[in-house]
Amino acid sequence: MTVLAGIRLGVDDFVAPPNTASVNLNTFPMPAYPPAVSEIPGWRSGAGTLATHYPVEANGTARDGFALQSYVEDFYDRIHVTPALLDLGNLVTTQVRQVSVWNAWRSRSAQLQQLTAQGADGIAITGQDAPPLTFTPLQERVWTVSVSTSGPPNIDATLSWIFAGDPPVSMSIRGSRLIAWLTPPNWTDSITETLTWSTDVQQSYNGNQVRQIVRAAPQRQWEFGLLAAGIERTVLEAQLFEWSGRVWALPVWAEISLLASALPAGSMSVPVATTGLDFAVGGLAMLWTDVRHYELVEIQDVAANALQLQHATVQGWPRGARIYPCRTARLTETASLVRTTDASVTSRVRFEAVEPCDWPAIAPAVTYLGLPVLEARGNEPSDPTATYARQLVTLDSDVGFAYVTDPTDKAWPTQTYNWQLYGRAQRSAHRSLLYYLQGRAAAVWVPTWTTDLTLLVSVIATSLVLIVEWTGVSQFLAGKAGRRHIRLEMVDGRVFYRRVSTAIDLGDGTEQLSIDSAFGTPIDPAKVLQISWMMLATLASDSVAIEHITDSEGLASCGVTFSGVPAEEP
């Protein structure tokens, strides 16, 4: 027998505190331990040879146990289907996917008795013989699932493989079927695009406001006229007959691009300049030549000069084919067709997007007192208007005169503002401004863009006073919100912003205005282009309309009304 050199612990090492090795050891009956052998030489010094051997006695206490699970038990000895969920998103073309079923039993075969499909209209399953089918141990079989655009608008299907003696294994198919709106607009009239935010405005008695953004992305609508004749008319009516209440892939018609060269079938990218256009990752685009020849593609990534696609194009496309970004949208009301002849119709339709339409929100670059200044001078296709309302409260008991009070003691001015936008860069920048304003949510400085003050005397670089022509500032306006900040623009393009603190009537047809800081440069009255008042304002409405007069490389217009928020003005 082998002789082992070791250390022998004494009995007191086991049972005498504080040297107890484990409290649980004390629960065992003493006969389970061999007798103490203090007579063994060297046992206390920890060195010595154990020459006497004692039999190993059985543990006198029974313990139950169990086998721990491992990855093997989780993975094998069952049936697997991959993928368990097929999420197609917006289905715009027929999609084909591979589905594998694997018998992961290591030691026995599995018998497929039945393959069932629920809610599978427009879904075809091929690739294997009809059941019954035998799966040998660890055998895998692959089915091909083809989902077409024909069928219910919402895809909610379940495929189940039923095996003898095993639980059924299933996969789910989800998605939404889409078709494209194919009839282009009649550009005789403009396309009206409306962006509508939602702002909860709560105002106190003294005029202070709390503005809470309710809708992060605006609701987006497009309204345009139609003139369809020949095959366009018949396709239009057929689509409306079948799809009026469903979701469409609506081309953003104003943002047209043309293929510079032919695009072969099977392409995974579409060369197109995307800057300033409404292409979105995960969104849709449409290739189009006429109502019978089109293809919707899903966008995986947007580069400056190309669209990367999630799936290859099915058709080849010639040079000059149109490319449009698309948004999913519904008709807001039933389209009414006017049959102008037996082969042509006219109509006007309105769509509303059913997906968030995000866009970069960019504030005006110029700031004054920490707030952006609207430096883009408006266009005036019609005469702009301004109002100077008061928030009056009237108490009328129908006996005697009514009692009218002005709790805020402030003027609440409004003024209209119009833009004429040329080309993609201006349109894109304007949309970014609108997304920054978010309806009534954000405040900016808005100049009147009128000649409100006329400088009469040259101003030295360090001066803090302006001598201007008398206009009643000292009598009516001095220190009032909405009329205490000025914008001074020079002929050479330089612009200065200053606060007017006091105004004094000099009695000779002039007034002296005190400003908060010097200009730092001489100001010659002959070289002043315009001095305008500025007010702090928000949009007066959460809804903004953009008129697309031509496509994105041409002209668009937008008109809004700004409303002052004098209680917030610094």
Q: Write the pLDDT tens digit of every residue in 223-274.
A: 999 999 999 999 999 999 988 888 999 999 999 999 999 999 999 999 999 9
Contact call for residues 181 and 236 (beta carbons, < 8 A): no
321 CB burial (10 A radius; 0-12, 13-18, 19+): buried
Which of 475, 237, 192 minimizes the C-alpha distance to 337? 237
Contact call for residues 546 and 418 (beta carbons, < 8 A): no
Q: Which two tokens stand for residue 449?
A: 């863009």
Q: How far apart are CA 236 and CA 146, in angstroms?
A: 28
How high is the mean pLDDT of the chain? 88
pLDDT, one tens digit per residue, over 465-476 is 999 999 999 999
Q: Which CATH superfamily is domain 73-177 in?
A: Immunoglobulins (2.60.40.10)
Contact call for residues 136 and 175 (beta carbons, < 8 A): no
pLDDT, one tens digit per residue, over 349-403 is 999 999 999 999 999 999 999 999 999 888 888 889 999 999 888 888 888 888 8
pLDDT band, very low/low/confident/very high, at 62 (cuts 50, 70, 90): low
Phi, psi of 26 (to 5 degrees): -70, -15
pLDDT, one tens digit per residue, over 270-323 is 999 999 999 999 999 999 999 999 999 999 999 999 999 988 898 999 999 999
Residue partners of 482: CB distance under 8 A and separation at least 6: 410, 411, 413, 533, 535, 536, 564, 566, 569
Q: HSE-up of 170 (CA within 13 Å, CB side)?
A: 11
Q: What local confidence, expressed as pLDDT, does residue 2 receive?
A: 55
Output the CA–CA distances (angstroms, integers) from residue 254 to 192, 227, 228, 463, in the order listed: 10, 17, 18, 52
pLDDT, one tens digit per residue, over 264-277 is 999 999 999 999 99
Terminal-residue alpha carbon distance, the chain: 99
At position 193, the amino acid (one-letter code) is: E
> Dihedral through CA 167, CA 148, CA 299, CA 279, nearest 10?
-130
pLDDT band, very low/low/confident/very high, at 45 (cuts 50, 70, 90): very low
Q: How far apart are CA 56 and CA 33, in angstroms?
A: 9
Contact call for residues 46 and 17 (beta carbons, < 8 A): no
Q: How far apart are CA 568 and CA 570, in angstroms?
A: 6
- Domains of the chain, residue spans: 1-62, 73-177, 191-353, 366-570
Q: How far apart are CA 490 and CA 113, in angstroms?
A: 87
Phi, psi of 300 (to 5 degrees): -90, -35
